[in-house]
Amino acid sequence: MKNLTARETQSVLVENRLDGPGKPGFAFRNPSSAIFYDWHAHPCHQITYARRGATQIEGPDGHHLLPTAHAIWIPAETRHRTMIRDLDGVSVYFDPAYFPHNRVNTIQTFPITTLVQEMLLHTLRWPPGTVEQTPIAQSFFQTLGMLCMEQMQARSDRFFTLPRATHPSVIRAMDAALVSPGQANLPLALRYAGMSERSFRRYFQEETGMTWQEWITQARLFHAANLLAEGQRVTDVAASVGYASLSAFAKAFTGLMGLSPVRFRNLQTLGPSHDRHESGSRQSDP
């Protein structure tokens, strides 16, 4: 994976005209290679759609997973950093002056209909800087923005968000756990936090709205999603993230993602068309 510095990330922003507002918007296809962008912000709202591949966004409130057939919303001026792995998708940027004012103010992953998926990809037909001079493009971007807002507001849960904390001791425990979620446990977290178990559990719940066990389980499943997107075997992934039982891993993963590990892997690596073709047949774990 290529890790970009802050200066290199800023250069990408300038190159793609992300250092200024678009009127009313513009889009570009995301790079398919594995890239980790440093912390940055831009004056436009961003919606990224993943047709295939895996992406994680880290923002002020935590880590956000972007699975296939979903989009992620990043409000203008929100500092974030992005890790892309073999992404086939598009990022669309909206000038806040032309976007619905009842917008969501935090980063959010949300499912999108096939219509909106195709509309997001359709934005690529207009090169940056041409939308303002094309009436049909202006209308298209404004309609797309309203449809995305409608689907975002209908999404009430935050399954694809791993909350972060502000307490330094809890942050140390989280950072240590995220290095290797499969091997992380409560004694390790307590050692890095330098807290008693009672204090740690209380602060953790207050900071994240989750118990330690709920949080580390979700962290493991986020890590599993990245490994599956790389095409790794389900059995190997289950063991890597700390599950001795394949059935327990499959149940937990399906509960979070809404589809089995095998289907998730196929969607990430082969795309939605392959999944539709395979949906009527029994799938194995090669």
Q: What is the phi-psi region of residue 77: left when phi exceeds 0, alpha when psi lies from -120 to 50, beta otherwise?
A: left
211-259: per-residue pLDDT in tens? 999 999 999 999 998 888 888 999 999 999 999 999 999 999 998 888 8
Domain CATH code at residue 244: 1.10.10.60
Q: Are residues 136 and 78 in the same domain?
A: yes
Residues 6+ apart with CB under 8 A from 105: 75
Q: Is residue 160 part of a domain?
A: no
Domains contained in the chain, number = 2
Amino acid letter, 5: T
Query: Where does a domain end: 97, 129, 153?
Result: 153
pLDDT above 90: percentage of residues in the chain: 60
Query: Where does a domain end: 119, 153, 187?
Result: 153
Per-chain mean pLDDT for the chain: 87
Residues 6+ apart with CB under 8 A from 130: 137
Q: Is residue 285 part of a domain?
A: no
Q: Are residues 272 and 195 in the same domain?
A: yes
Parallel, antiparallel, or unpaired: how do β-strands 45-59 and 80-94 relate? Answer: antiparallel
Read off the pLDDT band of 87 (50, 70, 90).
confident
- Answer yes or no: is pLDDT of 279 > 50: no
Q: Is residue 159 part of a domain?
A: no
d(CA 68, CA 71): 8
pLDDT at 273: 53
Q: Are residues 169 and 146 in the same domain?
A: no
Give ∠ CA 67-72-78 in degrees, rounded to 5. Answer: 135
Question: Are 2 and 74 contacting, i.e. CB atoms less than 8 angstroms apart?
Answer: no
pLDDT at 17: 80
Read off the pLDDT band of 286 (50, 70, 90).
very low
d(CA 106, CA 25): 20
Q: Are residues 105 and 197 in the same domain?
A: no
Q: Which domain holds residue 253?
A: 165-278
Domain CATH code at residue 69: 2.60.120.10
SS3 percent helix, strand, coil of the chain, rounded to 5, is: 50, 20, 30
Parallel, antiparallel, or unpaired: how do β-strands 35-40 and 2-3 relate? Answer: parallel
Q: pTM for the complete prediction?
A: 0.83
Average pLDDT score over residue span 145-166? 83
